[in-house]
Amino acid sequence: MPSKFNILLISCLLTSFSSFATQHFAIAIHGGAGTISPSTVSADKIKLYEAKLKQATDAGYAILERGGSSLDAVNTAVNILENSELFNAGKGAVYTFDGMHELDASIMDGRTREAGAVASVKHIKNPINLARLVMTDSVHVMLSGSGAEEFALQKGMELVPNRYFDTISRYQSLQKAKEKIRKLESASSTASAFRANYVELDNEYKMGTVGAVALDKQGNLAAATSTGGMTAKRYGRIGDSPVIGAGTWADNESCAVSATGHGEFFIRYNVAADICAKVKYQKKSIEKASNEVIFGPMHKAGGTGGVIVIDNKGNIALTYNTVGMYRASRKQGEDAKVAIFAD
Amino acid sequence: MPSKFNILLISCLLTSFSSFATQHFAIAIHGGAGTISPSTVSADKIKLYEAKLKQATDAGYAILERGGSSLDAVNTAVNILENSELFNAGKGAVYTFDGMHELDASIMDGRTREAGAVASVKHIKNPINLARLVMTDSVHVMLSGSGAEEFALQKGMELVPNRYFDTISRYQSLQKAKEKIRKLESASSTASAFRANYVELDNEYKMGTVGAVALDKQGNLAAATSTGGMTAKRYGRIGDSPVIGAGTWADNESCAVSATGHGEFFIRYNVAADICAKVKYQKKSIEKASNEVIFGPMHKAGGTGGVIVIDNKGNIALTYNTVGMYRASRKQGEDAKVAIFAD
């Protein structure tokens, strides 16, 4: 018969093992969703996308592996995507109707529910870094426009000229989008007719975002999202990316989400927080919760896009109702999985 | 024994009665929460507040009574509060650090989940009207700054000079707030010290909002929120009022909410949508759901403020964790109930 001591020892070892076993770490990232298919993207470009997605995932993974925080992991992964021309965020940001670039970003710490966001900044190379500074160094959550840049300067951040974000391919997209919008406007006699016709505008002009979610060894979740917004956007439009609850959400009790898609719908359906509410209140898996939100009433209303989700056990869901989504993930002890088109 | 016809008739009448009985209409409004007590507000001023709250409630009620929409009811009620100097919204908006006024507002239609919001507008007399125009006449949900005003001009809305919002009492509040903030800054050697000290700043400077929620005879919910934001706000700060899910939410399937309080916390805890998520997913009453959110983890983290909530049966919850909240409500067939201090 086992002695009391042995029982204690076994029990203690089992507890330690179980506690160790649940401390999975993992990361997932996205580079936007849309009508991405082998017919719309060249084979060479696909390789570039895949390599950059892998690089960002591995960089975030390395931070988690050496015991770093999920906040550092998502921040670093997003920086790599922001610094690439391939994605609509940072360097690759699309143009506004007036030929400028206005960037949005947000970040959230699942441990404390602290959050930071910036909207419509024009001279910030890595908007996610400024969003993080808002979270850690300001008494606010959301700063916008030149005021956000004043804060950046006070914190010693260097500004870049708006033309830093100029790229030929995005400029060409702007011209095409403006031409289509003008045609829609002249074909629409009323505001509601324009709204109805606007649905026809290619979804590519309405989307494009980068984001990351991660779980670290300490069991903390984090999420980050960064974007150049909608091509040819006007009127100081703010999409879902800097809206906590819509484009970004992280709560250790449930999950972390970064979204990409037609932002107006993602705001109206509170997408990121709603997925985690289903996990928290209905005890649904992130797979089921994200399917219900991404393919539910929002989709029926016309909302397209996707999300990356991670829960506090390291499960990952990559869910989208578009043709494809630039995405990658890496779980503890595994290699990075990179994908662009449908499974 | 009753004939089959009689049974049919009784059953039919009961159904009609029950269907009629559930078509309650109702409205609730708020004019901000805070350290409001008989010792901080004079008896004369209390009468002014009560009269204005009653006027706004009755105006919204009258629209509902004659079969108008909940959207019209909340819009009209908020307009009356915006046009009064008493509340921090519209005419009575507080000052920014730089001595300007920057207003935020949002509105949501529970029937369609359509929403409109404006952030940091400086020349819009009734920001809630512009938020509604964004909802009905634009392809966007959230517009900001001068871009939002360009949209307003294109829609034929007249702008007012920023000094329209000037009031002596708010100017005096700004001077006091700036003095306190400067003292906090010089007493804080680091950003995190300032953040810690900032908690000490009177909550009055962080709050002040107006809002309305309503259920109409058609069973449709709506919510609207309008504010001048935080006294002495800087850096293009955006609070919870224009953030759909945080300060405003409406969904026929659950409830409609307008919030007032320390906006940063209301964003981080997704307050308005979270209350409705608890109603929708956990089948909780709005009373229980709003108590859990307003007195739950957010409050423990330091978040203060309140909400007005209405569900699709016309139940109303007026919940706040502050000393008082300017509030009023009126249910079908009843008189308006107006209150300021704790029950």
Residue A197 pLDDT = 80
3-class DSSP state of A104: strand
ipTM: 0.92
Q: Look at residue A13 and tell me whether its pLDDT is greater than 70.
A: no
A95 Cβ partners below 8 Å, 6+ apart?
A101, A170, A171, A173, A174, A231, A232
Q: Look at residue A206 and tell me whether its pLDDT is greater than 50.
A: yes
Say which of B57, B76, B96, B209 is annotated catalytic: B209
What residues of A are in contact with residue B244 (Cβ under 8 Å)?
243, 246, 267-268, 270
Picking from A97, A145, A89, the residue whose alpha carbon sits closest to that of residue A122 is A145
A79 Cβ partners below 8 Å, 6+ apart?
A90, A126, A128, A129
The CB density around residue B112, as the number of other CB atoms within 10 Å, is 14
Whole-number average pLDDT of chain A: 92
| Distance separating alpha carbons of residues B154 and B117, to the nearest angstrom | 17
DSSP state of B40: T
Q: Look at residue A207 and tell me whether its pLDDT is greater than 90.
A: no
Q: Which of residues 271-290 of A touch B (CB under 8 A)?
A: 273-274, 277-278, 281-282
Q: What are the structure tokens assigned to A312, written together?
A: 């506090």
Size of interface A-B (CB pairs under 8 A): 163
Put simply, whether B191 touches A (Cβ < 8 Å) is yes
Contact status, residue A107 vs residue A224, Cβ threshold 8 Å: yes
Residue A253 pLDDT = 97
- Which CATH number, 3.20.20.100, 3.30.70.141, 3.60.20.30, 3.40.720.10, labels domain A27-170+199-341? 3.60.20.30
The answer to whether B142 contacts A246, with C-beta atoms less than 8 Å apart, is: no
**Mean pLDDT of the A79-95 span:** 97
Residue B189 pLDDT = 87
| Distance separating alpha carbons of residues B69 and B60, to the nearest angstrom | 10
Residue A256 pLDDT = 98
The answer to whether A236 contacts B281, with C-beta atoms less than 8 Å apart, is: no
| Distance separating alpha carbons of residues B1 and B18, to the nearest angstrom | 25
Mutate to test the interface with A, among B111, B140, B184 (most CBs of A within 10 A): B140
* CA closest to A198 among chain B residues: B139
Q: What are the structure tokens assigned to B293, written together?
A: 């959110």
Of B238, B244, B270, Cβ closest to residue A267: B244
Q: Is the dihedral of CA A145, A149, A151, A152 positive or negative?
A: positive
Tell me the pLDDT tens digit for each residue of B79-90: 999 999 999 999
Put simply, whether A156 touches B (Cβ < 8 Å) is no
Put simply, whether A150 touches B (Cβ < 8 Å) is yes
A256 Cβ partners below 8 Å, 6+ apart?
A70, A108, A110, A213, A214, A215, A221, A222, A223, A249, A250, A276, A309, A310
Q: Look at residue B14 and tell me whether its pLDDT is greater than 90.
A: no
**Mean pLDDT of the B88-102 span:** 96
For residues A182 and A248, which has the higher predicted lDDT (pLDDT)? A248
Exposure letters A254-289 (e unless 16+ CB within 10 A, then b): bbbbbbbbbbbbbbbbbbbbbbbbbbbbeebbbeeb
A61 Cβ partners below 8 Å, 6+ apart?
A27, A73, A330, A336
Out of A66-70, A155-159, B1-5, least confident range:
B1-5
Tell me the pLDDT tens digit for each residue of B116-175: 999 999 999 999 999 999 999 999 999 999 999 999 999 999 999 999 999 999 999 999
CA distance B246 to chain A (A): 8
Q: Look at residue A103 and tell me whether its pLDDT is greater than 70.
A: yes
Put simply, whether A200 touches B (Cβ < 8 Å) is no
Residue B6 pLDDT = 60
Q: What are the structure tokens assigned to A232, written together?
A: 């040819």
Tell me the pLDDT tens digit for each residue of B30-72: 999 987 888 878 899 999 999 999 999 999 999 999 999 999 9
Residue B17 pLDDT = 44
Tell me the pLDDT tens digit for each residue of B228-251: 999 999 999 999 999 999 999 999
**Mean pLDDT of the A66-93 span:** 97
Q: Look at residue A5 and tell me whether its pLDDT is greater than 80.
A: no
Residue A208 pLDDT = 86
| Distance separating alpha carbons of residues B306 and B146, to the nearest angstrom | 30
pTM of the full predicted structure? Answer: 0.93
Tell me the pLDDT tens digit for each residue of B174-208: 999 999 888 888 888 888 888 888 877 777 777 78
What residues of B are in contact with residue A234 (Cβ under 8 Å)?
147, 150-151
Contact status, residue B82 vs residue B127, Cβ threshold 8 Å: yes
**Mean pLDDT of the B280-307 span:** 97
CA distance A332 to chain B (A): 29
Contact status, residue B209 vs residue B88, Cβ threshold 8 Å: yes
Residue B16 pLDDT = 41
B243, burial (CB in 10 Å: exposed 0-12, middle 13-18, buried 19+): buried
Residue B10 pLDDT = 54
Contact status, residue A49 vs residue A36, Cβ threshold 8 Å: no
B209 tagged catalytic: yes
Contact status, residue B242 vs residue B106, Cβ threshold 8 Å: yes
Residue B211 pLDDT = 98
Put simply, whether A245 touches B (Cβ < 8 Å) is yes
Q: Which of residues 48-67 of A touch B (CB under 8 A)?
A: none
Residue A172 pLDDT = 94
Of A120, A147, A195, Cβ closest to residue B234: A147
In this prediction, residue B335 has a pLDDT band, given cuts at 50, 70 and 90, of very high
What residues of B are in contact with residue A267 (Cβ under 8 Å)?
115, 141-142, 244-245
- What is the domain partition of chain A in residue ranges? 27-170+199-341
Q: Look at residue A3 and tell me whether its pLDDT is greater than 70.
A: no
**Mean pLDDT of the A160-176 span:** 95
Residue A184 pLDDT = 87
Tell me the pLDDT tens digit for each residue of A209-258: 999 999 999 999 999 999 999 999 999 999 999 999 999 999 999 999 99
Residue A199 pLDDT = 74
Contact status, residue A236 vs residue B242, Cβ threshold 8 Å: no
A176, burial (CB in 10 Å: exposed 0-12, middle 13-18, buried 19+): middle
Q: Look at residue B4 and tell me whether its pLDDT is greater than 60.
A: no
Edge to edge, what strands does the sheet with B305-311 contain? Answer: B248-250, B255-261, B305-311, B316-320
Whole-number average pLDDT of chain B: 92
Put simply, whether B237 touches A (Cβ < 8 Å) is yes
Residue A32 to residues A78, A81, A116, Cα–Cα distance (Å)? 12, 11, 21
